[in-house]
Structure 1
Amino acid sequence: MSLLAIAIGILPMSQSAVTDIKGAEQVRLNECIRLTEEDPEAAFEESLAWLGEGGRPAARYCNALAIIAMGNYKEGAARLEELANAPDAGGLEDRAVYLAQSGNAWLTAGYPEAALVTLDNAVKIAQDDPEIRVDRASAKLMLERWEPALDDLDFALEKIPNNLSALQLRSRTHLELDNLDQAEADLNRALLIDGKNIETLVLRGDIREAKRLAGQ
């Protein structure tokens, strides 16, 4: 083989070729995500086939999502966290997504300490993301770290004042701290957003009972 042929062979792909590959991977990943919702086992089988073709980040992401969709939250969380820390994980935005989803999976699996570590790392990357702050507050609440949870929820609600989950969580946190007026204020805002939400209605009952016991 000539030196010219060898040189051509080791040149990086053109930008258009790279774009085509990324576009095809995104289409395949979108299909995997759809499958996780409709047929998690089929999504898992697809992820295994994809991993067999080289194990690129999108394939590993597909695999982790399929594992979570099948109910193995602990394993899926670990794989997402591993992907987020891999050298080929992508940009900071990608890593923040993997970490946030890993944190939620850890929470669902019942591992709030692991979730908090992961979500702390997600916040370091995406400090201004209110949804990640809400997720981290959930982990703190499971660990009964009420005041730190309030800090995250206050931040999130400054960004998105009508975030129902954040209002519910902050109301619950104030209830745990016996700040009944603040708990009721957030509850009333949550009721205005969705007066039929089951979690909000349960919270209303808990606040009413707390006020009754307090003689209010």
Structure 2
Amino acid sequence: MALIAMTAAAVMFLQNTGTVAGAEIAANEARRLETCVAKIETAPSEAYEDGLAWTFEGNRPGARQCTALALIALGNVEEGAIRLERLATAVDGGTMEQRALYFAQAGNAWMQIGAAEAAAVAFTEALKLMPATPELLLDRASAHMLIDRWSEAKSDLDRLIADAPEDGLAHQMRAEVFLNLGDYDAAMRDVQAAMAADPKNIDTLLVRGRVREAIRLKTEAGQRE
């Protein structure tokens, strides 16, 4: 999931103290975070400076989140991911939803630079806070697949498909997993399920071609024995 798109959800989760004054502070901070994050897409350097200025005013969680995301946008991905993980475990990190979001954003940042093992750890921490979240299960499965942890990826996708049997992407990804595990019949069943959800998906068609080729080669090998 895109980091900036995920941040839109963060605005909904800014901590509320339960008082009228607290609600007003939370609303102001939500607006400031939204403005800062929106600027990342067009002017990340300015967004980073805005985040720093906000940090100096009181080191608020929203300020730290925005500076971390701006760093990622500026290419300093590792530092941004580390800052998000620190924020997720900070005393003032906020609600479980907020903390899960920070971990998820860190995980997606790690994926950007191919650090799939670090990404899997971050997604796991997010799932501890928000179990069975479909997007997080897909993200962690993707990380597992990048480092050939096929059984772990299958476990995540099994959980997702059990709750959302018509999720075409999950079936497509599990077909890839089954292909690498050597279970070609199961892979083809998932290809068919993915195609039922989205018949023209190019990635699914590519997986289908690879599964068919694997079945052909297996059949030929069996005939030679």
Tell me which amino acid in the other structure corresponds to 1:62: C
| 1:1-216 matches, cutoff 5 A | 15-215=19-219
Displacement of 1:107? 1.9
* Contact 1:131 1:156 (8 Å CA) reproduced: no
> Matched residues in 2 for 1:172 and 1:44: separation?
39
Tell me which amino acid in the other structure corresponds to 1:169: M
| Alignment: residue pair count | 204
Displacement of 1:123? 1.7
Displacement of 1:14? 8.6
Instruction: Classify 1:137/1:31 alpha carbon distance in 2 versus 1 (closer, same or farther; 3 Å).
Output: same
> Matched residues in 2 for 1:37 and 1:197: separation?
28
Percent identity for Structure 1 against Structure 2: 45
Tell me which amino acid in the other structure corresponds to 1:132: L
Query: Cα RMSD between the aligned structures?
Result: 2.0
Q: TM-score, normalised by structure 1?
A: 0.85
Displacement of 1:170? 0.8
Higher relative contact order (CA 8 A, sep 6+): 2
Structure 2 counterpart of 1:10? none
> Matched residues in 2 for 1:125 and 1:205: separation?
38
- Rg comparison, structure with higher value: 1
Question: Aligned to 1:53, what secondary structure does the other structure show?
Answer: helix
Displacement of 1:191? 2.3
Question: Aligned to 2:210, what secondary structure does the other structure show?
Answer: helix
Tell me which amino acid in the other structure corresponds to 1:99: F
Q: Structure 1 unaligned segments of length 5 or more: list them.
A: 1-12
Tell me which amino acid in the other structure corresponds to 1:175: L
